[in-house]
Amino acid sequence: MSSSERLVRILARLEMLATDANDPARTERVLRARAVAAAKVRDEHREPLERLLAFRAAGKLYGVPLESVSAITLIRSMTMLPGVPAAFAGLLNVRGRHVTAIDLGAFLEGARIGDASKAITVVEKDRELALIAEELVGVRDIFENDVQQVVGLKAGSVVTRLGPDGMQVIDPGALFADTRLGSSRRR
């Protein structure tokens, strides 16, 4: 056991001593805090499973694997797309390329994003899509026990895992393969 882990345990025991042991809510809080602190110490010695770019869209927290992100841009002007479903937020000029902007709120939740000011361009082979976001939260290291598989999903679901803080982890492969974003009815 490392010295920092020992220190965490001692602090927790001291806190337990100072706590009214008859208060179950208080006890639970302390135990949780201890678990988080212990996990943090443990994480310092582990390699992350993957690195996600966390962002907020339509009030929800999403994460997308950093290795799929090709650009993060401020939305200065977006060309609206008339006569298409709300999930297609518009067309963006990303470094000279026309990239379709996707509103994840409308695409996954049926609620459109209010005022997206950032676009995260994700790439898969020759295709690109820009996910519009209200807020960029930052890069999150994901460890083995941080993610949970969502069960009972339909095949091809874009979100199959949940990360810390309820973060919905986007699977870029499933996103690009989604029939709603495909060209099956190509003219």
> Which parts of this chain interact with other proteins (CB under 8 A)?
47-48, 50, 56, 58-59, 67, 77, 79-84, 86, 88, 91-93, 95-100, 105-106, 111-115, 117, 126-129, 134-135, 181-187
Nearer to other proteins, 82 or 152 (CB): 82
CA distance 72 to 185: 30
For residue 78, the minimal CB distance to other proteins (Å) is: 8
CA distance 171 to 187: 28
- Helices (H) and strands (E) counted in the chain, each on its own, are 4, 11
Instruction: With beta carbons less than 8 A apart as the criterion, state whether 122 and 69 touch.
Output: yes
For residue 45, the minimal CB distance to other proteins (Å) is: 14
Nearer to other proteins, 30 or 91 (CB): 91
Among 145, 157, 156, 170, smallest CA distance to 62 is for: 170
Neighbours of 174 (CB within 10 A): 15
Nearer to other proteins, 17 or 187 (CB): 187
For residue 159, the minimal CB distance to other proteins (Å) is: 18
Nearer to other proteins, 154 or 186 (CB): 186
The bridge status of strand 127-133 relative to strand 97-102 is parallel
Nearer to other proteins, 19 or 79 (CB): 79
End-to-end Cα distance, the chain: 64
For residue 109, the minimal CB distance to other proteins (Å) is: 10
For residue 145, the minimal CB distance to other proteins (Å) is: 17
